[in-house]
Structure 1
Amino acid sequence: MGVLDVSSLSQLTPVWDDIVSGLTVGVLVTDARGQVLATNDIAAELMQLAKSDLLTGTRPEGWQVRDDTGAPLPDWAELAGQVLRAGSPMSTPMVIARTGQPHSRIWADYHAVQVQGRSRVLILLQPVHTDVSHSRGLIDPLTGLPGRVLLLDRLEQSLVRARCRGTLTTLVLVDVHGLAAFNAEHGFDRGDELLTTLAGRLREGLTDEHTVARYGGDEFVVVAEHPNGPGEEFAEHVRRLGGWPMRLGRRRYQPVLRVSWVTTDGRASVHSVLSRAESQLHQHR
């Protein structure tokens, strides 16, 4: 799909309407500050707003947008700036809540584009169906936890909030030591049972404000936001949650977990935070 120079949209409105009227997705174009420059009716309907509200930035009383964990999303200015700085697409689930109306679940894809030499953000909105997380590979099929793709998005949102609010983000990387040897001795079914049990412990032992994700074959990641202080105490809490003995079949097994953690004020990038946590973990192997 071509992108129009929406700075002259007043002359091109018929062309714009003709292009987007047949699309089955919501379309928005914003500037670097998050100001909506152009949109279509589907986007307004998905956002539970009038098109004029989208264009003017008006938000009715009782209208809220959150991520699928219930945490408030950064506003479009912050998201647009992040996408343009990174120069790469970003995707995020959104939940639209408005007083007196059912919640609307949306998947938003953000793309940095150049329109006649100007930096713009193209946002495509689609309703979230029940299987969207699995079909996009966002949910780990074994544990039901967010997978790597969704983790990266959640971590990015957490870093944005930390920068904007003056808070901290702590990422804890958890390695299940000796999983390959365990699988060789007891079989992959028992190994899968170990992982699902551990995933359940982490999810149940932490609050909905924490992101618990499957990062790799034998690794999990937990992301927490807090006002101050180092993340060492939280990392130890995560280790204790997962380290209790468990019964697998008829045998009692105590998992051996190795943990590393990184705390940042949000000014580090997603990949630098993960790389530092991985490096610290490997140093102790």
Structure 2
Amino acid sequence: MPMDMEAALAEIVREGRAPDLHGVVVTRGRDLIFEYYGEGPDVAWNAPLGTVTFGPDTLHDLRSVTKSVVGLLYGMALEGGHVPDPAEPLYACFPEYPDLAGRTGLTVGHALTMTLGLEWDESVPYTSPANSEIAMETAPDRYRYVLERPSVEEPGTTWRYCGGASTLLGGLIARGTGVPLEEFARTALFEPLGITAFEWARGGDGVAAAASGLRLTPRDLAGIGRYVLESDSPWISRMLTPYVAIGEGLDYGYQWFLGPGWVAGVGNGGQRLYVRPDLGLVVVVTSGRYNLPDAQETPVFVIEEVVLPALLPGG
């Protein structure tokens, strides 16, 4: 089986269909069944790192896979009684903005499902101040920046990709637990899973970027995927429930993408945490195709042409 994957991966790399591939980790149950690491230029949250030879201990940007980790952390904070239930009013959680108190109808759940109905645009490159996430990161107050966006749709009706929603969740975790987001992640999730090395990029205000700033090794990210597979926490079921259709046959849960038979965290540049419960399968792909329109082709080719054919019955 690993030899099948090794040969298939070598083929798509040779054909140029997996450019800038940095790493692949495949686990089934508790077993690491395939692993690959490449070499090439990389960045850490847009800061150049030069040419990197990747390996099992090399941290890698997760970009928006960070959001899915934050969705998991929110449930842990909720189980500890530290954060409001998804049904609770959102603006009431931020009483420091009394001028926004008149806004009603939005709940924490709308942030979890990215159905806030607020004006938000991440369609331009993440190197541009016209990108709403970048504008938020450079704003004097990230939470106010998100909360005061104009309302353009009825809450709960339309999915709009929004790093600001994840930022609000990170803020609720930090203020509810009384420690920075990255510290709660360390004690509640990382250390129990044996994850000892991580980085979390911070904005100019020193706050960890809940939308995109986490760096982990592919093996450790796979460990989080295994936790999602194996945990008996009721939050996992809530988190992976399809709440809103987002097109192309996909749905969205609480900060997770949901497809037919699989769930995933997806990040800029070709980052992917793919979980297939029926196979007990976790696939992590890291890549350096940041801000490129074809970035997601790399993990798709790896998963659909390398991993699944080797593991599906009759494959």
Mark yes or no: TM-score above 0.5: no
Structure showing the higher strand proportion among its residues = 1
With the length of structure 2 as denominator, give the TM-score of the two structures.
Answer: 0.24
With a CA cutoff of 8 Å and minimum separation of 6, indicate the structure with the bigger relative contact order.
2
With the length of structure 1 as denominator, give the TM-score of the two structures.
Answer: 0.26
Rg comparison, structure with higher value: 1
